[in-house]
Structure 1
Amino acid sequence: MHNAPLSLTFSDAQILTPDGLMAGDLSISEGFIGRSCGRRINADGYLILPGIIDLHGDGFEHHMAPRRGAQSEPTQGLRAVEAELAANGITTAMLAQFFSWEGGMRGPDSAETLIRAVADHDAGTDLHIQLRLEVAVSDLFDRASALIDAARIRYVVLNDHLPHRALAAGKRPPRLTGQALKSGRSPEAHLAMLQDLHKSMPRAIAALAELTSDLTAKGVRLGSHDDRTSEDRARFRALGADICEFPETLKAAETARAAGEPIIMGAPNVVRGGSHDKKIAAADLIAKDWVDALVSDYHYPSLHRAALKLWQDGLPLQQAWGLVSSGPARVMGWDDRGHLSPGLRADLVLMHAQTRRIEGVLCHGRVTHLSGELAARMVG
């Protein structure tokens, strides 16, 4: 059982508003931002920011399977995931779980195991599932659809990680042996499976159109991953995928922007100063005001670090932090979070103004992380 929602007032803080940081008090009661009540906590020297909303993070995989073939007990793994999320200011997290031919942690069995574990887990952080559906696995679409319905998954991303170029040329794809070991197949069996999937792509795309039509009718948001060309974006748009996640080129991003479609980029790209594999730099798109949300991708700490880096580089804090709070909320149509306004969820990040360390995190008014001087003030 988690602690009860707090009723208190943080006084003399710097509070992030749509117009920037403003000195003042912020009160919470019964899980929501509201009128002054409860005891007063001196928050002088702290920034109070909206809780971070992460729409795509697969850093949880390390906690669920610390080594290849060594999967942890799901509940223990989720506890470790939550601790890392909270320490990094994340109050709403979508665990980006594959439903793929890749097997192992990315196979259908693992997807079902994770979803059961999240459903049974008494989470302090608001946990959701983003299902990353490989478009080639048409034989598994019925299973995927049943899982989406049962788990009430609201965000599905379409992926195509098949090495089509190598397969079309009759070549052995790169990293084949490593992939085979992760999936529990021999390299020969894995290659044969990839060749079969590549050959059956026309049938898979036809089946995918039927599946996505059904999903969009049920209100599931669809996105596409790693669009490289305008044609990629148009093809996925035709399938109902109106979120452009990690476009690889300026042209793909420009096509999405012209259509008014949300663009999601990775926070590690911002922190590193560019893509680790020489794709488009997220900062270039942010400078054009084309990015709606930053996500953790493979590294949870990068979310707050990216926002702070953008602020340091000259972007107003309300815009920089908005990329990890109000922007993601807007993409998903969540109007109960993302801002610090009366009546909204008390999802808060308390950051030491000088050290920029996150010392306190509240999700729906409940403490999920507390450290440093702030802990002494609140406990004392």
Structure 2
Amino acid sequence: MSDNANQTSISGGTVVTPTTEIENGTVTFSDGKIVSVEAESNGTHDIDATGKYVLPGLVDLHGDDIERHLFPRAGERVDTTIALDRCDIANASAGVTTKYHAISFEDVPDNHRSIELARRLAEHIRDFDHETGARIDNRLHMRCELTNEAAVDAVSQEIRSGGDLVSLVSHTSGRGQFAGENTLAQRYDRLDEELETSIQALETRRGSVSDTEIVSRARKITDSASSRNIPVASHDDETVASVSNAAAIGVDISEYPLSHRIAQRATELNLTVAMGAPNVVRGGSLWDGPDASQAIKDGVVDILCSDFRPQSLLRSVFIENRDSLKDRVLRVSTAPAAAAGLYDRGRLERGARADIIIIDPNPAPSIVRTYVAGQEVYCSA
């Protein structure tokens, strides 16, 4: 055991810091913060990490996976409190220590997404912390559908109530991720005549909103968020002009740009570029977007998000892509934390919050232990 009963030491593993990879290193933490990161084992430890990796906890700025816990199969709706708790457990076991739940403020025909549901989820997320049983730090990412005026009003209210991140979304037929042969209807496993009619009506309503009005609504959101130091992302930037316009109205993050050139332009504009970790793991986009691995090689990706699969963040760290392990770790920890304005975490350094994960690389990378602010919240043993 460590000399100080209030301290915990993890020794023997490969410790990954923002600047280096330390073989047989030791991380010591106390009272929720990292006390030291040493290049050698000090001979005493509480946790033996020999043969394993020690990384900062993962920071996920965009995770839709709460929806899968709410609606695990067609026709089934799980209680919100239970769904959020299950999602919390799943993320802790995936090494995610700070989670931005991407909640869609929009109305769709099957009611799996609605403004009313988004409001209820936002309230539950704000109230879900360590004292109420949360294992990880759960935060609110508000996805604002700009073609819906009621959604804009609802997100504006949530910003005032204390949201953590907002993204600007415009899901209209023929544009963005629904360009070409991609349609909203393809998102549904089963499509009967009534649902198809409802989808067509929704597409018509969304398409009737002018570009001028969408820009006006976007500016309303960015102005409100900026006044409260809440970062703003633009979702699915589809042209060089659109990402330039987003930067001009105060957007901070280009989330899932739809081409390599757009990601490059976002980088030139000093926007943080986010792409999907599942894209890296899979080896390409599901929706004809850019190959995230190639974009990383070309230096136009800053952070990776889990999208709908929290396990993909850890898996992406162990996919070699002509870059170092520390750089792959940075994209899922230090960089997203900084993009969100959370400078107290996302790195193994003295004084940082003790969000720490231990990974067994064999036979496939998996989480052995997860610590959040120095508290063990998951252990596979």
Question: 1:249 maps to which residue?
Answer: 259
Give CA-to-partner distance per residue, 1:330-359, whole Å, 9 cap, x none.
Answer: 212221111111111111110125443211
Of 98, 112, 120, 1:113 maps to 120
Return the match for 1:138 from 149, 161, 179: 149
Aligned to 2:280: 270
2:206 maps to 197
Residues 326 and 339 in structure 1, CA contact (< 8 A), matched pair in contact too: yes
List alignment gaps of at least 5 residues for structure 2: 37-41, 176-180
Given residue 138 of structure 2, which amino acid in structure 1 is its aligned partner? L
The 1-side partners of 2:250 and 2:185 are apart by 32
Provide the rounded CA distance (Å) in 2 between the counterparts of 1:230 and 1:271: 27
Distance in 2 (CA, whole Å) between partners of 1:319 and 1:219 is 27
What is residue 290 of structure 1 aligned with on the other side? 300
Matched, 1:64 2:70: yes
- Do residues 42 (structure 1) and 53 (structure 2) align? no
Compare 345-354 and 249-258 and name the one that shifted more. Answer: 345-354
The separation in 2 between residues aligned to 1:344 and 1:271, in whole angstroms, is 29
- From the superposition, tell whether residues 329 and 120 of structure 1 become closer, same or farther in structure 2 (CA, over 3 Å): closer
Contact kept in structure 2, 1:56 and 1:297, CA below 8 Å: yes
The one-letter code sitting in structure 1 at the alignment partner of 2:122 is I
8 Å contact kept, 1:164–1:198: no
CA distance in 1, matches of 2:190, 2:281: 32
> Aligned partner of 2:201: which letter?
A
Question: More deviation in 217-226 or 65-74?
Answer: 65-74
Question: Could you tell me how far apart the structure 2 residues matched to 1:226 and 1:282 are?
Answer: 14
Aligned sequence identity (%): 28
CA contact (8 A) 1:246 1:266 kept: yes
Report the number of matched residues: 358
Aligned to 1:361: 370
Deviation of 1:117 after TM superposition, in Å, equals 1.7
Unaligned runs of 5+ in 1: 166-171, 376-380
Q: Cα distance 1:300–1:181, how it changes in 2: closer, same or farther (>3 A)?
A: same
Q: Deviations over 1:111-144 (max 9, x none)?
A: 1111122233321101111111111112442222
Change (3 A) 1:309 1:39: closer
* Inter-partner Cα distance in structure 1 for 2:27 and 2:182: 56
Distance of aligned partners of 1:20 and 1:134 in 2 relative to their CA distance in 1, 3 Å threshold: same
Q: Does 1:14 align with 2:10?
A: no
Please tell me whether the aligned partners of residues 171 and 206 of structure 2 are also in contact (alpha carbons under 8 angstroms).
Answer: no
Shift of 1:155: 1.1
Q: 1:86 aligns with which of 53, 71, 92?
A: 92
More helix by share: 1
1:222 to 218, 232, 235: 232
Q: Deviations along 1:166-206, whole A, 9 cap, x unmatched?
A: xxxxxx99454976999xx7544553343233223343432
Measured in 2, the distance between the counterparts of 1:99 and 1:306 equals: 29
Letter in 2 for 1:45: G
Larger mean Cα displacement after TM superposition, 61-70 or 240-249: 61-70
Query: What amino acid maps onto 2:372 in structure 1?
Result: C
Task: Output one character per residue of 1:227-270: Cα deviation in whole Å (capped at 9) or x when no partner.
Answer: 12101112222332231111111111111111111100100110
2:136 is the alignment partner of 1:125: yes
Of the candidates 154, 157, 168, which is equivalent to residue 167 of structure 2?
157
Q: For residues 75-113 of structure 1, what are the alpha-carbon distances to aligned partners after superposition, in whole Å with 9 as ceiling and x for unaligned?
A: 111121012101111111111110113252321111111
Deviations 1:276-333 (A, max 9, x none): 22221001111122211111011111111111013xx442110111111111112122
Tell which deviates more after alignment, 236-245 or 76-85: 236-245
The one-letter code matched in structure 2 to 1:147 is E
Give me the whole-angstrom Cα distance separating, in 2, the residues matched to 1:180 and 1:265: 25
The structure-2 alpha-carbon separation of the partners of 1:149 and 1:306, relative to structure 1 and needing over 3 Å to count, comes to same
* 1:325 counterpart = 2:333: yes
Aligned to 1:336: 344
C-alpha distance in structure 1 between counterparts of 2:198 and 2:64, whole Å = 27
CA distance in 1, matches of 2:46, 2:141: 38
Greater shift, 80-89 or 7-16, is seen at 7-16
Task: Provide the C-alpha distance between the structure 2 equivalents of 1:186 and 1:277, rounded to a whole number of angstroms.
Answer: 22
Contact 2:173 2:184 in 1 (8 A): no
CA contact (8 A) 1:137 1:204 kept: no
Residue 241 of structure 1 aligns to a residue whose secondary structure is: coil
User: How many angstroms apart in 1 are the aligned matches of 2:297 and 2:83?
Assistant: 38
